[in-house]
Structure 1
């Protein structure tokens, strides 16, 4: 009871501060009567303690060149399967499964001298998801390697290369804008006990989400807890009224050519744009987070699937049922992503010829 009262007081002064500083838009005032629940408790805590996800620190990604030249001072953790690890891994990398990673880092957090802890997966998307969760918990020196092992050596690039595609569903695309819906309540989250403080809630929630598998290697016939491939989404979920599709990027990803030019449609019809890049950070509570419908399944795509994977980790932490569309724009419209004349997007395109082919070890 005292905890609930304390949260209400904190929330009151939080809203008061927003109103005084002018950060809250007038139309957000319609949501101020919602009940303080576990999701709001976590949201206020996260935004009051660095707000990692909505900061310049996110998504905490390093390219393979940076990883290679920092191996002497960094701990590299490979979260692929033991078989994948044994078939080739970065020198001195240790193999830890995603469901053991959280406890491992908590146990060594006061007994290591590494400047960086670098999470490596097959394509970078699973690593982006787990890295975001670990950052939300407070592991501020955790990063993930861009494009995963696929960016280390061409021998590991098949999952990415086979995903590069121009979808057959482009005829469902448009350049017309779908507006964000009205503000709504945050999702409801249940915990093992009712009297947990917010740090204990965060710990329990992170542990739960770290245990969920994130399969970042498949590009077809996948619909799992945290991710889905694009064609499967279009085939099974696109017309589902309980689906909510988000383009998590910017205008350059959402549109193609001039806005409204139907000769070059940019996004699946009905897609809502939430701007991820600075200075927008539209998933903040004083921006548009609460326009995301809590009762629907949220599907997000980004440039290459890594930013959307991090967003899924953040949204699931707050109780949303969210899934990342694997490989993002690279599997939806690769010719557009890799077009050298469209230099805004090519920086997020997977280019096989750019792979440096660093050495690796086999067990």
Structure 2
């Protein structure tokens, strides 16, 4: 009898220990990673990158029509020298990496209807606008084509020079399969609160120069296997031609319930849209999430401009230049 009681006692102790172990194991398994916490928070907080609000691009004509509207603020992130050479009336010169501090300490962003970030081409402005959107500033936009849309002289060394057909004969029209869902980036902020993780990731993103995200067309065409190329375009653009190996990612499909987890965490993701501007918003988003990501400079306009112009698929041409007055 005593032996039976002893056996039963040992049995129940073993069951209790095993049960505790399994509960602990389940807890470990159920604790979300920083990446998952951040994705869930961003998707629950408007899911900007996958919404109809993205990309937040504004036309030059709207800025021109609101030059006297004090609810429209234009922030020019070009160099001081180029700003002094010619800028949009009433615009303010602010360095790109200092925009977050400017929003937090220098202005009341909520007092403006629209805040437009302006650069040379629209691409770096789109990147910073994307970061500010993630930070919760929902009235931030970038000027389409940058200052190239405002003045023809400013456009010459930017969009005019970089809109080419240099690799139009090297594009492919093959449909490349999207990978299966896989591992996700590992963030290491040490935070468990979503807002704190986001704050640290955005601050780190502002500290990294935008130029480090840029990949030129000649590099991509020469070494396409160095990248996982995400063609962030609709089917018409993709089927018209893309860099060898590029996989189509339809805009608005980078949610956790759709295609986000198919992006590789162990490769340099090169995002290619038609102009480099929609891609810049994606680059901002993916970089904050911890992906190794780059932007194809000037998008598909850098290698097959004429085809885009002919098909009216965001191809840059002289008609995009408005030749509005500049202030000195």
Q: Same fold (TM over 0.5)?
A: yes
| TM-score computed with the length of structure 1 as normaliser | 0.79
Cα distance in 1 for residues equivalent to 2:303 and 2:32: 39
Correspondence list, 1:314-353, <5 A: 314-339=285-310, 342-343=311-312, 345=313, 348-353=314-319
Give the secondary-structure state (helix, strand or coil) at the position aligned to 1:267: coil
Instruction: Render the CA deviation track for 1:292-326: whole Å, top value 9, x for unaligned.
Output: 11000000110111011111111101100100101
The equivalent of 1:230 in structure 2 is 217
Partner residue of 1:152 out of 137, 150, 153: 150
Q: Is 1:98–1:211's contact at 8 Å kept on the other side of the alignment?
A: no
Provide the aligned C-alpha RMSD in A: 1.8
Structure 2, gaps ≥5 residues long:
1-25
Partner of 1:246: 230
Is the 8 Å Cα contact of residues 169 and 231 (structure 1) preserved in structure 2? Answer: no
CA distance in 1, matches of 2:149, 2:185: 37
What residue is the counterpart of 1:263 in the other structure? none
Q: For the Cα contact (< 8 Å) 1:169–1:234, is it kept in 2?
A: no
Distance 1:156 1:40, change over 3 A: same
Q: CA deviation at 1:107?
A: 2.0
SS at match of 1:75: strand
Q: Alignment partner of 1:338: what SS?
A: helix
Corresponding residue of 1:27 = none
Structure 1 position 111, deviation (Å): 6.9
Report how far residue 331 of structure 1 moved. Answer: 1.0
- Once the two structures are TM-superposed, the CA of residue 211 in structure 1 deviates from its matched residue by 2.2
Does residue 1:271 correspond to 2:241, yes or no? no
Please tell me whether the aligned partners of residues 74 and 115 of structure 2 are also in contact (alpha carbons under 8 angstroms).
Answer: yes
Matching residue within 310, 322, 328 for 1:356: 322
Bigger radius of gyration among the two: 2
Match of 1:287 among 244, 255, 258: 258
Partner of 2:20: none
Contact kept in structure 1, 2:114 and 2:141, CA below 8 Å:
yes
The alpha-carbon deviation at position 34 of structure 1 amounts to: 8.9
Report the Cα distance in structure 1 between the residues aligned to 2:278 and 2:164, rounded to whole angstroms: 19
Q: Does 1:62 pair with 2:58?
A: yes
- How has the CA–CA distance of structure 1 residues 154 and 169 changed in structure 2, closer, same or farther, with 3 Å as cutoff? closer
Determine helix, strand or coil for the equivalent of 2:319. Answer: helix
Structure 1 runs not aligned, ≥5 long: 1-7, 10-32, 216-224, 257-265
Kindly indicate whether the alpha-carbon contact (under 8 Å) linking 2:224 and 2:244 is maintained by their aligned counterparts in 1: no
The 8 Å contact of residues 119 and 143 in structure 1, kept in 2 or not, is answered as: yes
Residues 159-308 of structure 1: pairs in structure 2 closer than 5 A: 159-168=158-167, 170-171=169-170, 173-191=171-189, 194-195=190-191, 197-215=193-211, 225-235=212-222, 237-240=223-226, 243-256=227-240, 266-276=241-251, 281-308=252-279
Bigger fraction of residues in helix: 2
Equivalent in the alignment of 1:106: 104
How far the C-alpha of 1:169 sits from its partner, in A, is: 6.4
Which whole-Å deviations, capped at 9, do the CAs of 1:153-197 have from their partners, x for residues lacking one?
1121021100011123633x3222111111112101122xx2452
Kindly tell me the number of residue pairs found equivalent between the two proteins.
299
1:190 to 1:174, Cα distance in 2 relative to 1, 3 A? same
Deviation at 1:335, TM superposition (A): 1.1
Alpha-carbon distance in structure 2 between the residues aligned to 1:136 and 1:168: 35
